[in-house]
Amino acid sequence: MNTILQATLKTLQKTEYLLLNLDDGTLSDVSVSPYYSSIGGHIRHILDFYDCILNMDENNRIDLTARQRNINVETCCNHASDYLKGIIERLKTMETRPDLEVTVTDDLGMGATDMPYTYGALLAQANSHTIHHYAIINYILDRLGLTMKDHSFGYNPTTPQASGLN
């Protein structure tokens, strides 16, 4: 298994830990300003991103705008956990090379556009994207009076941290 895939799986394990320590009410709570988004909404968004990556077509095209947006993942820890486990299993069994050239469709704010990537670069982007959403989830947890026992949750590995945070 390549390093990018190993890092991706390690990062996604944090979602599993998070889901084991939340209830459905906390997962779907949208009371935190200023955006009123839920932890479940962020988890669904993260997993939808990976689902798109794993749904590459026979022409090596990946459409990041083709997201499932299943509301049950946002509101039910069991649904979110099942979705996560499915993504992890698909990642573990994938045989795509990191240097494989792919075409990625995304909407950067001006309509859908196609961009050349490598599969490895897209997985690296997904990993950073996940960590970014973990940081947002950490803000929501803080406002709800909850904390993660994993002090690296939401921190990019290159972010300087105070001593003792790992």
> What's the mean pLDDT in 100-129?
96
> What's the mean pLDDT in 112-131?
96
- Specify the DSSP element, H or E, that contains 81: helix 77-93
**Is the separation of the CB atoms in 32 and 139 below 8 Å?**
yes
Whether 163 has a pLDDT exceeding 70, the answer reads no
The CA distance from 29 to 159, in Å, is: 29
Whether 138 has a pLDDT exceeding 70, the answer reads yes
> What's the mean pLDDT in 36-51?
98
CA 45 to the chain's CA centroid:
7
Task: Using alpha carbons, list the distances in angstroms from residue 164 to 58, 107, 132, 150, 152.
Answer: 47, 40, 21, 12, 10
Q: Which domains does the chain have, with CATH numbers?
A: 3-143 (1.20.120.450)
Whether 76 has a pLDDT exceeding 70, the answer reads yes
The pTM for the full model equals 0.92
Tokens 């960590």 belong to which residue? 131
